[in-house]
Structure 1
């Protein structure tokens, strides 16, 4: 039989989440963000559940081409834009929309040989200080783009650094409102957090990412508990061995865990080569036959150990949920000192994925 670790992808949860986000977004259209192989869920796997999207946003040309090959004929947005002039051949061939955040990209489009004008998302740096034109250079960029015959529709784009925190979006929104009004561009501003919590940012397009997959932009499940969003991925495995410890016995590499007394532990077929965080400390939550317990010892490449004290009936073959509908990935990530984003997108290729 195959190794028992697997990831189940719920298309029903994905459709449900997209419906909730559309209700939240009002009249704004939705770019469903499927970067990083749909946050680890697999583009092929999620496409059937996201057919009601208005467009897809991602980074890699290979993923954009994959969407076209799978029959998606709607808009596709390259969130980081293109990286060299030769990339414009693919943008032209596959009718992609591209972010433009630099004057060299505008010059590359002007010099390209295109069959049709390319639609662009002109990005302004509103405080994130990653990509985007400085606000005092945006008007010049817009003038250059507007004069280029190879450029079609232009949309203003930005990204919020703190929409998921108390800092909020007031400062970047004030900057955006101060831009020259003669540009008159449609706007695409809202990420997942802004889509949920800052309706004034919704404008013409929103770009939900992590919320599509049922995890929280803030990293705290409690922050989205009242929204009705549902986890899309369930990572599960089974106990493949049971060890009975005595006081002083140690577990795993380095013997980080030491039993205080008699104790049963279960060995689970899942490790960091499957995408489980190696640095997860003892006590990181798992469910064994639906009972919440915690890991013990060091996570190894292929296995981890769990305390069976709260579930004395558990044994070989018992089901283990590492994260999913009954155990939010944000809870696991928080215990491990990271975010649900990282855990979901780090799912290893060797883990079988079942879609249903």
Structure 2
């Protein structure tokens, strides 16, 4: 059997979460964002699982799009960061990609290139994130330059990104929305604005297209969960087993640096998983873990290949006991990756994308099951 650590990918849960995004915005189309290897879940496998539901996918760069095309994915793919050099444009055309533009040089390169057929283009405006995009005052000029080149450009959309759609303090979100609504009205522009938190919580942001990302993988991006986000299902379960048990006396340390000190006579379980697999080394003592479906916690610093958990109150647990580091146990118990991330002082995105290649991905799907 080999080392017991695996990342199980529930493709039915992925489809459920995508359908939830669609149900929340029935007048919008939903891009499925599968950048960063589908947030660590495997882009080609996830794209195939969604292909009969999804009108288009989105990735960060052309290399990610090429992986999908090589994997026989033929749906439209949006390059969210556009091109990085003008010489990518022939590849964009050959792969049949849709292009985001956020800088003058990209517009100049596109207008200087003569494609065999016009390229669908989404213009990104910086509405307040201050990362990528044209300033709002410059957007009309860019829009009209591209609109006036129908032999090169087609299907123009207005695109932006929210800085605070996930927060309970919604003031800045409404500031951004006000700017975007004014621009969309002025230009009579279809929009793609809503990321995962805006898809879940802000119908005002729903446009011609939405682009759910991390919510597809079952992570709740909202600072305060709502009725919609509570319906998300975990897609990845990172599971392993107890491979050794140690009985220690009160006052004995565990792990590097002796950070965890046994407050009583304790049983310590050693789990086959560590930061060499992508489990966060910054996880604190007390980080939750499921052992045979029961909650316990991390006891001691994470090592490269192993971590240690407190089994003192789980007398039935022993060598071979199943361990869920995040996701769903076979008995139905769920350990939210968002809860684990909080104990690591990080976010679910870093945990999911940080699972390293040496962890096998095992995909499962009940083809008879429903999508939502």
Q: Normalising TM by the smaller chain, what interval?
A: over 0.9
Q: Which residue of 1 aligns with 2:356?
A: 348
Write out per-residue CA displacement over residues 212-261 of structure 1, whole angstroms, 9 at most, x where no aligned residue.
Answer: 111111366x4467642100000000011111111222111111112223
Give the secondary-structure state (helix, strand or coil) at the position aligned to 1:86: helix
Note the 1:17-166 alignment, pairs <5 A: 17-51=17-51, 52-148=53-149, 149-166=151-168
CA contact (8 A) 1:219 1:339 kept: no
In structure 2, runs of 5+ residues without a counterpart are 329-333, 365-372
Q: How far did residue 180 of structure 1 move? A: 7.0
Q: Which residue of 1 aligns with 2:308?
A: 305
Q: Which residue of 2 aligns with 1:237?
A: 240
CA contact (8 A) 2:278 2:355 kept: yes
Rounded to whole Å, the distance in 2 between the matches of 1:69 and 1:258 is 52
CA contact (8 A) 2:200 2:229 kept: no
Rounded to whole Å, the distance in 2 between the matches of 1:341 and 1:36 is 10
Give the secondary-structure state (helix, strand or coil) at the position aligned to 1:243: strand
Write out per-residue CA displacement over residues 83-129 of structure 1, whole angstroms, 9 at most, x where no aligned residue.
Answer: 00011111011010111011110101122242221111101111000
Q: How many residues align?
A: 355
Write out per-residue CA displacement over residues 164-204 of structure 1, whole angstroms, 9 at most, x where no aligned residue.
Answer: 11233211111112227452221111000111111111110
CA contact (8 A) 1:219 1:334 kept: no
Q: How far did residue 70 of structure 1 move? A: 2.5
Note the 1:246-265 alignment, pairs <5 A: 246-265=249-268
Rounded to whole Å, the distance in 2 between the matches of 1:193 and 1:117 is 32
Rounded to whole Å, the distance in 2 between the matches of 1:72 and 1:258 is 52
Rounded to whole Å, the distance in 2 between the matches of 1:225 and 1:206 is 16
Rounded to whole Å, the distance in 1 between the matches of 2:184 and 2:11 is 43
Structure 1 residue ranges (4+ consecutive) displaced by more than 4 angstroms after TM superposition: 222-226
2:280 maps to 1:272: no
Q: How far did residue 140 of structure 1 move? A: 1.1
2:335 maps to 1:335: no
Give the secondary-structure state (helix, strand or coil) at the position aligned to 1:65: helix
Rounded to whole Å, the distance in 1 between the matches of 2:223 and 2:216 is 14
With normalisation by structure 2, the TM-score equals 0.92
Write out per-residue CA displacement over residues 292-349 of structure 1, whole angstroms, 9 at most, x where no aligned residue.
Answer: 0000111011100000012111111110000002101011001111111111111111
Q: Which residue of 1 aligns with 2:322?
A: 319
Give the secondary-structure state (helix, strand or coil) at the position aligned to 1:324: strand
Rounded to whole Å, the distance in 2 between the matches of 1:180 and 1:339 is 32
2:243 maps to 1:213: no
CA contact (8 A) 2:30 2:210 kept: yes
CA contact (8 A) 1:292 1:310 kept: no
Q: How far did residue 143 of structure 1 move? A: 1.7
Q: How far did residue 71 of structure 1 move? A: 2.6
Q: Which residue of 2 aligns with 1:204?
A: 208
Rounded to whole Å, the distance in 1 between the matches of 2:226 and 2:286 is 22
Residues 64 and 97 of structure 1: CA distance in aligned 2, closer, same or farther (over 3 Å): same
Q: How far did residue 153 of structure 1 move? A: 1.7
- How much is the aligned-residue C-alpha RMSD, in angstroms? 1.5
Residues 223 and 182 of structure 1: CA distance in aligned 2, closer, same or farther (over 3 Å): closer
Moved more, 256-265 or 85-94: 256-265
